[in-house]
Chain A
Amino acid sequence: MNDRSRLVVVPLVACMLIVWGCEREARPFEQLVQVQKRSQSETGTELAAGTPLPPSAGTSPFQQNAWGQSEGKRLFTAYNCNGCHANGGGAIGPALMDDEWIYGFGPENIFASIVEGRPDGMPSFRNKIPDYQVWQLVAYVQSMSGQTPIDTSSGRSDHLQARTPEIIQPYQGRIQTGHK
């Protein structure tokens, strides 16, 4: 690379890194109310015994956002999700880090599972958790099964750190392979 092209390429790469990093670290405190608002009112469901739900399309607004996932991680404990699902390994409730999803592994599926509850134990959190926090939980739950990019996993939690941050844990490969 000659000197003149270096003069162009280096600042360009630096700018790209900054822009890319911004999205990863964005903390939209002032716009939280507007984050993909959904109606949490009761809906009829077509659930039936037998086959698992197909995955939904779309992504969580915090799919690419390290802060959102770190908040999801905090809320996972704060709202006592870990009381039944442990740290994703499952206990009273099903595991969240494997590839078995009774009610679908898409973001909309997980959103619905949290808001509407599911038979045999999963309580409904309808109107108890604001939409944006449900989306943060969705992104964190998806990250447990490797459905979010590894580079947006939490590098450093803002709250008490009880274990090694996800981003510096040894890479396990994608555990999620699609639902069975």
Chain B
Amino acid sequence: MDGLQSALNPAGPQASVIAAITWTFFAIGLVVYALVIGVCAWAIFRRRRTADNAPETDNRLTWVVAAAVLATVATVIVLSGISVVAGRGLTAPSGDNAVTIDVIGHQWWWEFQYRGAMASELVNSPNEMHIPVGIPVVITAISRDVIHSFWTPNLQGKRDLIPGFETQMRLQADAPGIYRGQCAEFCGHQHAHMAFQVIAEPADAFQSWLQQQRRAAPAPSTADAQRGHDVFMNGTCATCHTIRGTSAGSRIGPELTHLASRKRIAAGTLEQTRDHLARWIVDSQSIKPGNRMPPNPLSPDDLQALLTYLETLR
């Protein structure tokens, strides 16, 4: 029951409500199941020995059926009541200090945007959502292509991302840690590899992360990194990706300004290592067939230089 992606291991108030209602329904269901099976077994073993058409039997039957119907109606009413109370708990308004995050679903990756006081302070963090511990988070989610579903079982229930429609949800993490989120609505070829990480950290660590992400990429300082920079800008990379502080500013693929600061690449598919990054750049289609990143048959020297440059994007 413990796990990075388990609704039975709640790490916040909303997920606790969901876990509580899950266990309540399970317990009531278990009692009803035991009663029904018990009564059935009793009826089988205490069956009528002879044909019996006496009026008292009919009378007793009416009472049994009436009691069973009443019990069913009462159970449904109680469960509905619990459901309404839980629903209110999930959507309760948060305080004034809430952090707001814009979530954008793409085939097949996630984009998390943190707005600042000025437009230039916008932070764009693909596939990695950082949140402060103990502070409510308000999420506004939208999709850029097809319907996706945002699901972090440890923190909140599923919520669909509909193209052209803003969906709001609230969540909060009470314990620091790394939780896993996953697209929960089939959205095409690589739906299964459309995951993200939620990194819950203390408020000051979150603020320093935000400050660091607001910085533009540094200019390449070594000859090797400079060559990698040129490969990026003059090749196909810059057609789709953004690196703030350079001339690459396209919004088709994930932003790479702080690529090296992220723990995983390819929407949670691979751990971030030089080797994985190289495989992904050269032939991502063998890792996630059908994804939107084209294969890039670079020469070995160009590839190594590009990797060196990408590693400077901390």
Once the chains bind, are B294 and A132 in contact (CB under 8 Å)?
Answer: yes
- Chain A: residues with Cβ within 8 Å of the partner, total of 16
Provide the residues of chain A in CB contact with B178, threshold 8 Å: none
Q: Does A30 contact B (CB under 8 A)?
A: yes
For the complex, count residues of B whose C-beta is within 8 A of A: 23
How far does the Cβ of A28 sit from chain B's closest Cβ, in whole Å?
A: 9
Tell me how many residue pairs across A and B have CB atoms closer than 8 Å.
Answer: 42
**B146, B188, B286 interface centre (most CB from chain A within 10 Å):** B146
Question: Does B294 lie within 8 Å of A130, measured CB to CB?
Answer: yes
B144 CB-CB contact with A under 8 Å: yes
Whole-angstrom distance from the CB of A69 to the nearest CB of chain B? 16
Give the contacting residue for A129; candidates B236, B285, B295; CB below 8 A: B236
Contact between A32 and B163, CB atoms less than 8 A apart: no
Is the pair B289, A29 in contact by a Cβ cutoff of 8 Å?
A: yes
- Does B95 belong to the interface (CB within 8 Å)? no
Q: Are B252 and A32 in contact (CB under 8 A)?
A: no
The answer to the question of A160 belonging to the interface, with a C-beta cut-off of 8 Å to chain B, is yes
A40 to chain B, nearest CB (A): 10
Q: Complex formed: what's the CA distance from A14 to B252 in Å?
A: 40
Cβ–Cβ < 8 Å partners of B234 in chain A: 127
Main secondary structure of the interface of A (DSSP, over half): loop
Q: Tell me the bound Cα distance from A32 to B285 in angstroms.
A: 9
| Chain B 244-299 residues near chain A, CB threshold 8 A | 252, 283, 285-286, 289-290, 294-297
- 12 further A-B contacts with Cβ under 8 Å, apart from A29-B285, A130-B236, A160-B163, are A32-B295, A33-B283, A33-B297, A127-B235, A127-B236, A128-B236, A129-B239, A130-B295, A132-B294, A158-B189, A159-B146, A160-B144
Binding site for A on B (CB under 8 A): 107, 144-146, 163, 188-189, 234-236, 238-240, 252, 283, 285-286, 289-290, 294-297
